[in-house]
């Protein structure tokens, strides 16, 4: 459904990532692992032209149904990001405007209230009806992240792109998100692309895993292949990541 051929992404002339080639198929969860500053977030933002073109330059193609997203107008991309490709960014609480009640965000999706309530219930909110009149600063991190997911799911996108969905989120909520993502990709023509540093979570959630280091992306492999790989590059990456983690 999405074909990515990015030759390189430059930040003020210096190369952040280079030679990225992958394609996403439906009904799959793709994970990109990588350390802080490896360019994960830059890469996923580049896919729909979210990078500031004043400082970044992206060379290559991102094909969605033979339509190159990198050469599309920004109006088209805005519409695309509100329907077909949805993002959930890092820092869930500050993804919201703190002066607007959450009702504002639910209204924007154009979905009837019953649908919203039903989805809130599925995300295990205790009193879904109360959420409407709350302000974002009243939410905990886990609640805010669940709401980001609810909002993303409401527009029923084909591709969901997640940036560090579990950072700062407690285990039980991460566990819930994992189950929700899995049932999301059970539907026809849906897929997920996410970046994370959480090895355990990645191992449980992913259909395919790749890692980004020194600006290059490895091949996508299944979690079993990835974690038992005899490839020296993968091995050294995993040990270096585990050194930090353990």
Answer yes or no whether residue 37 interacts with other proteins by CB under 8 A. no
Answer yes or no whether residue 200 interacts with other proteins by CB under 8 A. yes
CA–CA separation, 129 and 61 (whole Å):
44
DSSP per residue, 192-204: EEEEES-HHHHHH
C-beta of 60 vs 141, nearer to other proteins:
141
Q: How far is residue 210 from each of residues 76, 140, 199, 219, measured CA to CA in Å?
A: 30, 31, 12, 6
Answer yes or no whether residue 245 interacts with other proteins by CB under 8 A. yes
141-154 and 171-184 helices cross at what angle (nearest 10)? 10
C-beta of 151 vs 205, nearer to other proteins:
205
Residues 168-197 as x/- pattern, contact with other proteins by CB under 8 A: --xxxxxxx-xx------------------
C-beta of 9 vs 144, nearer to other proteins:
144
Asked if residue 97 lies in contact with residue 174, where contact means CB atoms within 8 angstroms, the answer is no
Answer yes or no whether residue 2 interacts with other proteins by CB under 8 A. no
CB of 127 to other proteins, least distance (A): 10
CB of 142 to other proteins, least distance (A): 4
CA–CA separation, 204 and 193 (whole Å):
14
CB of 175 to other proteins, least distance (A): 5
- Distance, C-alpha 58 to centroid of its chain: 19
CB of 166 to other proteins, least distance (A): 9
Helix (H, G, I), strand (E, B) or coil at 12: coil
Q: How far is residue 199 from each of residues 67, 94, 207, measured CA to CA in Å?
A: 34, 25, 14
CB of 31 to other proteins, least distance (A): 14
The region of 17-25, 46-54, 140-148, 157-165 touching other proteins under the rule CB under 8 A is 140-148
Instruction: List contacts with other proteins (CB under 8 A).
Output: 124, 126, 140-143, 146, 170-176, 178-179, 200-201, 204, 243-246
């Amino acid at each position: 459904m999405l074909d990515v051929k990015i030759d390189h992404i430059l930040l003020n002339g210096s190369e952040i990532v280079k030679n990225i080639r992958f394609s996403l198929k439906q009904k799959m969860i793709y994970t990109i692992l990588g350390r802080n500053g490896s360019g994960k977030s830059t890469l996923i933002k580049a896919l729909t032209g979210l990078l500031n073109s004043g400082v970044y330059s992206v060379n290559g193609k991102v094909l969605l149904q033979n339509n190159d997203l990198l050469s599309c107008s920004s109006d088209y991309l805005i519409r695309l990001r509100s329907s077909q490709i949805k993002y959930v960014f890092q820092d869930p609480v500050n993804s919201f405007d703190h002066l607007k009640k959450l009702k504002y965000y639910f209204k924007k999706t154009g979905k009837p209230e019953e649908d919203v309530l039903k989805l809130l219930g599925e995300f295990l909110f205790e009193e879904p009806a109360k959420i409407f009149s709350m302000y974002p600063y009243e939410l905990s991190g886990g609640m805010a992240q669940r709401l980001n997911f609810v909002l993303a799911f409401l527009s029923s996108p084909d591709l969901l792109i997640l940036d560090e969905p579990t950072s700062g989120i407690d285990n039980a909520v991460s566990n819930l998100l994992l189950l929700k993502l899995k049932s999301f990709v059970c539907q026809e023509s849906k897929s997920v692309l996410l970046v994370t540093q959480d090895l355990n979570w990645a191992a449980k959630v992913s259909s395919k895993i790749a890692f980004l280091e020194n600006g290059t992306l490895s091949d996508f492999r299944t979690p079993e292949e990835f974690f038992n790989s005899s490839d020296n590059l993968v091995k050294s990456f995993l040990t270096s990541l585990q050194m930090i983690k353990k």
